[in-house]
Amino acid sequence: MASDPTDRPASRRDALNLLGAGLASTPVLLAGAAGAQPASGQAGGAPAPSQQQQPRALRDPRNAHARPPFPPQEQPWPGLARNMNPRPDHGENSYRGSGRLAGRRALVTGGDSGIGRAAAIAYAREGADVAINYLPAEEEDAREVVQLIRAAGRRAVALPGDIRNEAFCRQLVEDAAKGLGGLDILVNNAARQAAQPSILDISTQQFDDTLRTNLYAMFWITKAAVPLMPPGAAIINTASVVAYDPPAQLLDYSTTKAGIVTFTKGLAKQLAERGIRVNAVAPGPYWTPLQPSGGQLPGELPKFGAQSPLGRPGQPAEIAPVFVQLAAADLSFTTGSVFGSTGGQGGP
């Protein structure tokens, strides 16, 4: 992960935020902080044990979620999270917000499942209203996300449609801004991934679908969104570890993800004068519907993620805090950066 470019010492809030979304927002009394009363006989004015927040139990990251081998499984594209075994964890039962994005308005593409769903849930629980885009075939998953956003007390806007179409992309942004009352977070996350063993097996149609979904749509949606976004807004693009170490079987997909990295860095320079930050997240192997719906070659899915140093794939819930952090105002000097979440396997 890229290093924090800020020079100031970490504040108490920074420390809590970087520990992840699972922490409650209970304040901690620090030595020397206003209102903290040192216990008698304790060096340095440290608070008494009764005043300290009880530490949460540590979790071994190697065993925090399911490990391969996984059951063999295939789905028709685009795939549904509800049909995966094991079902992905998007933070439905674990993510706890602390108001970091209160009053914000976010559009998330691919928000029905996978990483987009995890980001949408986290944003809602941090106080943002959220619009999600997805394909009509993903309606079942999308309904669940809408219910979760509303259960968090936030406004949910469902916008099904195919982002391979330029006119739809423009309409998507317009409808999102209208439904949310504005737009100040954009997450370009939707992706097409189809594994092929050779360039000779990649049809022009597949190549076109991959580029239109992963690159063209990001360009069209961002171009439509920028005029609507105020200073302080954030754009977050989902890149991938394959931009840095492309697998042989993901030639077209890896090409688009490398393009997203470059697009992010260049756009950040353009939009700095508008006060809009642009960053990207580069996941490693994550357990999402992309994988059983053609994203892996036949026979590869049961061992998916086993090659990572942690020995398993990531679950979408594990990357949601990164999307929250990049959208939050306290990362105001961070733009043009790519943040990795790869399980130790290469990346930025």
Look up residue 155 and give its amino acid: R
Reported as a pLDDT band with limits 50, 70 and 90, residue 57 is confident
| DSSP for residue 292 | I
Question: In the CATH scheme, what architecture does the domain 101-341 have?
Answer: 3-Layer(aba) Sandwich (3.40)
Q: CA-CA distance, 45 to 6, in Å (whole number)?
A: 29
Which pLDDT belongs to residue 143?
Answer: 98
Nearest to 191, CA basis, from 143, 250, 144, 128 = 250
Q: Taking residues 23-52, what's their average pLDDT?
A: 38
pLDDT at 127 > cutoff 70? yes
Which pLDDT belongs to residue 207?
Answer: 98
Which pLDDT belongs to residue 55?
Answer: 79
Which pLDDT belongs to residue 14?
Answer: 44
- Assess whether the previous peptide bond of 78 is cis (omega < 30° from 0): yes
123, 216, 253, 286: the catalytic one is 253
Q: Is 95 a catalytic residue?
A: no
Q: pLDDT tens across 200-235, in order?
A: 999 999 999 999 999 999 999 999 999 999 999 999
Which pLDDT belongs to residue 17?
Answer: 42
Which pLDDT belongs to residue 65?
Answer: 97
Domain-by-domain residue ranges, the chain?
101-341
pLDDT at 3 > cutoff 50? no
Nearest to 119, CA basis, from 148, 153, 155, 162 = 148
pLDDT at 22 > cutoff 80? no
Nearest to 236, CA basis, from 246, 225, 245, 227 = 225
Which pLDDT belongs to residue 108?
Answer: 99
Which pLDDT belongs to residue 274?
Answer: 98
- Torsion of the alpha carbons at 166, 168, 171 and 172, rounded to the nearest 10: -110
pLDDT at 25 > cutoff 50? no
Q: pLDDT tens across 180-207, in order?
A: 999 999 999 999 999 999 999 999 999 9
Which pLDDT belongs to residue 149?
Answer: 98
Which pLDDT belongs to residue 291?
Answer: 97
More confident residue, 7 or 235: 235
pLDDT at 138 > cutoff 90? yes
pLDDT at 169 > cutoff 90? yes
Q: pLDDT tens across 234-265, in order?
A: 999 999 999 999 999 999 999 999 999 999 99
Which pLDDT belongs to residue 331?
Answer: 97
Please, what's the b/e burial string for 306-338 (b: 16 or more CB within 10 A of its CB; e: otherwise)? eebebebbbbbbbbbbbbbbbbbeebeebbbbb
| Mean pLDDT for all residues in the chain | 88
Reported as a pLDDT band with limits 50, 70 and 90, residue 52 is low
Q: pLDDT tens across 286-326, in order?
A: 999 999 999 999 899 999 999 999 999 999 999 999 999 99
